[in-house]
Amino acid sequence: MKMCVIDNIELIFPMADRPILRNINYSIEYGDRIILLGGNGSGKSSLLKLLNRTYQPTTGKIYLENKELRTIPLHVLSQKIVTVTQDLRDSLFFSLTVLENCLLWETRFQKISFQIQKHQEKVFFQDYLAGFHGQLPKKMDVCVAALSGGERQSLVLALCLLHPPELLLLDEHTSALDPKIAANLIKYTERLLEEKNITCVLTTHNLEIALKYGNRLLALAEGQIRLQADGPEKSFLTQEEVLERCYL
């Protein structure tokens, strides 16, 4: 069943010498874990920014659950789509504490009130965060700025999955980490997404990750789709074949 349809998208920035994206036709189904592969400037991040409505397409349309994306109210969209980028400042309030970040992410589904913070809320989030990182429950009143990189990454993931979105967009979210931690995090993310059956698009320029994880592969080069491989077809792809077909 189709969740999102990208219909003949073109994205052109003023002053740019060539389109950032062109002739993009693709559909995302419920439960898909799509790896979006491409080199620098291939258009991966721009495609995600079209999906979360940061950018508007120059031509073409995007549909989410049969509704045109631009017609969906912002607060509804925030419940359906969550984006995590490599810059964690895009996902966390650095001057606020871990608990305050949890309470703010909770507002995606709550009306803002003049309610005062309750002790039960702290206990709830402590229990919840314990499943993601052993240290986070002890640091509920510590500012995010004082957390380690790993703790921040775990917190972002925990916040995204607090109320699982229908579509999770991960834009090279591990690129700031060292390879070993990055590999572990991707493995952990993949397991969580599978458990909770969350549809996800993960961008990377790492061929190994692209072939190892996810059930669909979409490769971009120079703003165009160069390769699509789903299910079994993806599992037979080799690094050489992808390199050759994508001119990476």
- To another protein, the closest distance from the beta carbon of 232 in angstroms equals 36
CB of 66 or CB of 95, closer to another protein: 95
Q: What is the largest CA-CA distance in the chain?
A: 59
> Measured at the alpha carbon of residue 45, what is the angle toward residues 41 and 46, in degrees to the nearest 5?
85
**For the CA atoms of the chain, what is the radius of gyration?**
19
- To another protein, the closest distance from the beta carbon of 189 in angstroms equals 20
Q: Is 166 an interacting residue with respect to another protein (CB under 8 A)?
A: no
Residues 115-154 touching another protein, rule: CB under 8 A, are 115-117, 141-143, 145-146
Residues 15-74 touching another protein, rule: CB under 8 A, are 52, 74
- To another protein, the closest distance from the beta carbon of 68 in angstroms equals 19
Q: Is 105 an interacting residue with respect to another protein (CB under 8 A)?
A: yes
- HSE toward the beta carbon, residue 16, CA cutoff 13 A: 11
- To another protein, the closest distance from the beta carbon of 142 in angstroms equals 5
H/E stretch holding 171 reads strand 167-171
Nearest to 214 by CA among 227, 225, 229: 229
The residue within the footprint of another protein, chosen from 63, 65, 79, 126 (CB under 8 A), is 79
- By CB under 8 A, which span of 16-24, 42-50, 93-101, 130-138 interacts with another protein? 93-101
- By CB under 8 A, which span of 78-86, 182-190, 203-211, 216-224 interacts with another protein? 78-86
Burial of 1 (0-12, 13-18, 19+ CB in 10 A): exposed
Beta bridge partners of 4: 28, 64
- To another protein, the closest distance from the beta carbon of 133 in angstroms equals 17
Q: Is 91 an interacting residue with respect to another protein (CB under 8 A)?
A: yes
CA torsion, ordered 69, 167, 155, 150, to nearest 10 deg: -110
Phi first, then psi: what are they for 118, rounded to 5°? -105, 155
Number of residues that bind another protein (CB under 8 A): 35
CB of 104 or CB of 123, closer to another protein: 104
Quote the CA–CA distance of 35 and 230 in Å, as a whole number. 10
Beta bridge partners of 9: 24
- Name the residues that contact another protein, by CB under 8 A: 52, 74-79, 83, 89-97, 100, 103-105, 107-108, 110, 112-117, 141-143, 145-146
